[in-house]
Amino acid sequence: MSILVTGGTGLVGHAIANICNEYAYKFVFIGSKDCDLTNLEATRELFKSIRPKYVIHLAANVGGVFKNIHCKVEMYEKNILINHNVIKVSHEFSVEKVVSCLSTCIFPDKTTYPINESMLHDGPPHTSNEAYAYSKRMLEVQSKAYQQQYGDKFICVIPTNIYGPHDNFSLDDGHVIPALIHRCYLNKHNNVDFVVRGSGSPLRQFIFSKDLAKLMLWVLEEYDELETIILSGNEGSEITIKEVSELIAKAYDYSEYITYDTSYTDGQYKKTADNSKLMGILGDFAFTTIEQGIQESVNWFIQNNHNCRK
Give the residue numbers annotated as catalytic, written as ranges. Answer: 132
How far is residue 224's CA from residue 236's CA, in Å, rounded to a whole number? 27
DSSP 8-state symbol, 265: -
DSSP 8-state symbol, 288: P
DSSP 8-state symbol, 102: -
How far is residue 33's CA from residue 31's CA, in Å, rounded to a whole number? 5
Q: Could you count the other beta carbons within 10 Å of the beta carbon of residue 98?
A: 24
φ, ψ (nearest 5 deg) of residue 56: -105, 110
Pairing of strands 239-240, 203-204: antiparallel
Distance of CA 90 to CAs 19, 82, 103, Å?
24, 12, 21
